[in-house]
Structure 1
Amino acid sequence: MASPYFSNILKTLNPDFLIYDFVVPWALSLGLDQNIPTIQFFIFSAVSVSFLFHRLFKGPSVRFPFPAIYLRDYEIGKFNSMMPPASSNDNRKDDGVPPLQFLITIGHSCDLILLKTFREIEGKYVDYLYELMDSKVVRLGPLLHDPTKDQEDKDEETDHVIKWLNQRETSSVVYISFGSEYFLSKEEIEEIAHGLELSKVSFIWVVRFPKEEKVTRAKEVLPKGFVERVGERGMIVEGWAPCKNMSISMNL
């Protein structure tokens, strides 16, 4: 739906080049149609990118040259269902087309491939990408975010977490979080709480609930008296934690 509007933007701006993410494959076609050099930017590791393009261009029968990287049996079926035929050259992402169909064209049509990595960590995988791709591969480094400039510093809802963390001793705080896609059951929450209470360690525990869940407060599912018993030793965060700012603390 956005491609017609984006095409008009390109015509108006007439940029020297176009950098785009793989989730908007139609940007490649728009750039090529207007003779704009296209640059693909992968924000994930060279390991995963090289493995992906290996399967795209060489097929599942050719073993990936680095045996430590492989698919488990239960992953193979799901992965294969996402893969296009190696001979395909369709960069659309329409219904009925395998989700990774468009990567075939990306691998052969981009002027540059940008990777969020550096040689000291993923050198052999970057070198293998050079062998696989028609495009030039450029490493951008880790591109680490500077949390000291983040707006989270000014967020009153999370600022108290940082203040609490800064008052702890070095390497004394355990961080518990299961991300944004997994929600603990009441039984799992009780078991983790029991372990934290017995451990006597300081902790930051992020607890989230699905939107449709009637329970909206952690205290409703935590063991009775848990918060009072752990006291200042523990910090329960409901919703989102200021992970970027927390990551620079030596106390975590």
Structure 2
Amino acid sequence: MDFSTKKQLHIAVFPWLAYGHIAPFFQVSRFLAQKGHRIYYVSTPKNISRLPKLPPNLSSDITFIPLSLPQVDGLPPGVESTSELPIHKVPFLKKAHDKLETQFVEFLKSSPQVKLIIHDFCPYWLPPIATQFGIGLVFFSIFNASSNAFLGSPSDMLGGSRRSPEDFTVVPKWMDYPNNIAFKLHEISSHRECEDTITDSERCRTMLLNCKIIAVRTCYEFEPEALRVLSRIHQKPIVPLGLLPPSLSSIQDKGDENWEALKKWLDTKQEKSTFYVALGSEVNLRVELMHELAYGIEKSELPFIWVVRKPPLVEQQSADNIIPPGFEERVSNRGLVLRGWAPQLKILAHSSIGGFLTHCGWSSVIESLGLGKPLILFPVGSSDLGLVARLMHGKKVGLEIERNDIDGSFTSDLVAKSIKRVMVDSEGEQLRTNARTMKDIFGNMELSNKYLNEFTRALEII
């Protein structure tokens, strides 16, 4: 590529302190660095240390800027990301993040060459600083276009027509095409738990009003209508970044002994016979709900791998009773329960995996559909998980497990029924076929790079 005709941009990248944000921001940083731009990746030391090592050819183009997270009453010492916290303590992390302002200003003073900041929803204090330093802001939303469109315009976010929790349980009038994108009542109340005194929608609104470009993790091939709605309600450039699928080389990596043992176990199973269960790095279901889910998994009578994450250290409930007593013995001939971390992409890529019971995090959905695996949709936790579940259910690439709209309760029988329908029943055949065809969009590296190239050009034009 001929850089002589192009100005090298110096870009600061500033994600929110959650791994689901940190990783996609890093992926975009690597791409921009490959295109010859200088990146300053700003986060806290612990989050930076969790990132994959940079290839030698990029190590001089990406500089890590560690900011130390200030102590805040209520935030346990040493915690630097949402995955280390139960949801009701996330507001303290937001308070600590807001206190990064002083260090961020120091960084900008010492780096006058920075002319763009790619930021997240959280730092509502950033716009006046950017103006002071003559820096352009680019909002990168890790959500898909449908979730972003559901939030509405800045005036809708300020209250608009939605006053009560019930108002969020209907499809908003501005989403003027056939869809079922709305929250269930229990999802609204669980999200309220992670709100600070400055709400997420206030933060988001400030960032949207002050940025030059809104970049969204999606593509026209998957949700053209929602992208059209976003352009209309924001009246500024909406740039799809593509889906940022993980690179297949991370699957082919000759891995650890853990993977060798897992692979051996999976090799004994028939093709597409086994389902994978993982509820993300942040979900902490109440014990009774975890037990109900376990009984449903057991009643499905199908082979499975279930990754059970240990609760955050600050949670009181013991990790031992998350799984019902006797469960592992009863299913030992066909099920595997793994505690802690597991190589999700490698498991999903194995030919014996036929479906994914997921909490509906956008990254997990992208991984699954990128490998053509249908979804058993079980949105638990906060954020836009419920909206992602409705979108995937509506696109007929997955089936949502039925739950009580008001309190979120569900039965093990409905869990088993949903698993069987997605995995083996004849009425799930369409879902399985649709998921396989999605591979052409979700797993398509060329398509992803085309979008990233267009995003890079948009930044160069600013």
* TM-score (norm. length: structure 1): 0.75
Q: What is aligned with 1:65?
A: 175
| Aligned positions of 1:7-22 closer than 5 A | 7-13=105-111, 14-22=113-121
Q: Does 1:23 align with 2:140?
A: no
Gapped regions of structure 2 (runs ≥ 5): 1-98, 163-171, 354-462
SS in structure 2 at match of 1:47:
helix
Q: Superposition RMSD on alpha carbons, in Å?
A: 3.6
Distance of 2:271 and 2:180 partners within structure 1: 35
Whichever of the two has the greater Rg, that structure is 1
SS in structure 2 at match of 1:221:
coil
Q: Does 1:169 align with 2:273?
A: no
Distance of 1:224 and 1:128 partners within structure 2: 48
SS in structure 2 at match of 1:237:
strand
Change (3 A) 1:101 1:195: same
Superposed displacement of residue 63, structure 1: 2.1
Q: Does 1:188 align with 2:289?
A: no
* Structure 2 contact 158–201 (Cα < 8 Å) conserved: no
Q: Counterpart amino acid of 2:110?
A: T
Aligned length: 235
Distance of 2:319 and 2:226 partners within structure 1: 46
The sequence identity of aligned pairs, in percent, is 23
| Aligned positions of 1:94-109 closer than 5 A | 96-109=197-210
Cα deviation 1:82-111 (Å, max 9, x = unaligned) = 9xxxxxxxxxx9x64333213333222211
SS in structure 1 at match of 2:202:
coil
Change (3 A) 1:225 1:138: closer
Change (3 A) 1:157 1:182: farther
Distance of 2:257 and 2:198 partners within structure 1: 46
Q: Counterpart amino acid of 1:203?
A: F
Distance of 2:199 and 2:323 partners within structure 1: 44
Q: What is aligned with 1:74?
A: 185
Cα deviation 1:150-190 (Å, max 9, x = unaligned) = 69864444553244324433211122334432254385376
Q: What is aligned with 2:73?
A: none
Cα deviation 1:199-250 (Å, max 9, x = unaligned) = 2x3221233453533453888822484255x1xx332212233212222223
SS in structure 2 at match of 1:216:
helix
Gapped regions of structure 1 (runs ≥ 5): 83-92
* Structure 2 contact 308–339 (Cα < 8 Å) conserved: yes
| Aligned positions of 1:225-236 closer than 5 A | 225-226=329-330, 228=332, 230=333, 233-236=334-337
SS in structure 2 at match of 1:51:
helix
Q: Counterpart amino acid of 1:15?
A: V
Q: What is aligned with 1:35?
A: 134
* Structure 1 contact 193–226 (Cα < 8 Å) conserved: no
